[in-house]
Amino acid sequence: MTGRGQSIVLIGFMGAGKSSTGKALARKTGLPRLDTDEIVSTRFGLSVGEIFAAFGEEKFRDAETEALNQFFHETPAIIVTGGGIVLRAENVKKLRELGNVVSLEADEETLFRRISRRATRPLLQTQNPRGTLVELLRVREPLYHAAADVRLDTSRLTHDEVADAILKSIGKL
Ligand code: S3P
């Protein structure tokens, strides 16, 4: 008995492919998908950007932790997280209890290209989004690495390929 659940938990920076890979994994495994951003957004009845604007980042982080604490490790699921979930050690502890933690990664250029397709990320609405990305990555990369059981570079893979690589790495394919 390891005390850990059977969920597949996706962590990683904005643009790493967590949402799309989560959908592919849910389709392939038949497991339910739980997405912390979606849950928080539904709870407030607002987009993530609107929550940041109206209540600030700290309130969003509190709601994110609350959403996570409603997940039970007895119920396997595909768990998709927001890029900042690793900022709180208590979140990381909980994620590791839930199951296999997979860090989706990509090179800086790829992340920036993917993120730039949509202006929905409040943290990157700065004068110099590329500089902000570099700084956030510098702080967060060690946190993603420390939290992960498995690390996967998604830069040159489709979402389906990423999903298959994850299932293979945890012995489910
Ligand atoms: C955030 C990432 C976003 C969302 C919020 C904050 C972050 O999720 O939770 O904008 O701090 O990296 P995605 O990683 O799905 O973009």
Q: Where are the domains of the chain?
A: 7-168
DSSP state of 7: E
Q: What is the mean pLDDT of the chain?
A: 96
φ/ψ bin of 12: left (φ > 0), alpha (ψ from -120 to 50), beta (otherwise): left
CA dist., res. 69 & res. 146, Å (int): 20
| Atom of ligand 1 minimally distant from the CA of 122 | 10
Q: In whole angstroms, what is the distance from residue 105 CA to residue 147 CA?
A: 13
CA-nearest residue for atom 15, ligand 1, is 82
**pTM, rounded to two decimals:** 0.97
**Ligand 1 touching residue 82 (CB < 6 A):** yes
Per-residue confidence (pLDDT) for residue 118, from 0 to 100: 85
Residue 1 pLDDT greater than 80, yes or no = no
* Any atom of ligand 1 within 6 Å of the Cβ of 12: no
d(CA 103, CA 10): 6
Q: Which helix (H) or strand (E) holds 152?
A: strand 150-153
| pLDDT at residue 172, as a whole number | 83
- Residue located nearest, by CA, to atom 11 of ligand 1: 84
According to DSSP, the β-strands at 78-80 and 33-35 are parallel
pLDDT in tens, 41-84: 999 999 999 999 999 999 999 999 999 999 998 899 999 999 99
Q: Give 9-75 as a DSSP string.
A: EEEESTTSSHHHHHHHHHHHH---EEEHHHHHHHHHTS-HHHHHHHH-HHHHHHHHHHHHTT--TTS
- pLDDT at position 2 is 54
Span from the CA of 85 to the centroid of ligand 1 (angstroms): 8
- 7-168 CATH fold: Rossmann fold (3.40.50)
- Say yes or no to pLDDT of 19 above 60: yes
Using CA positions, which residue lies closest to atom 10 of ligand 1?
A: 121
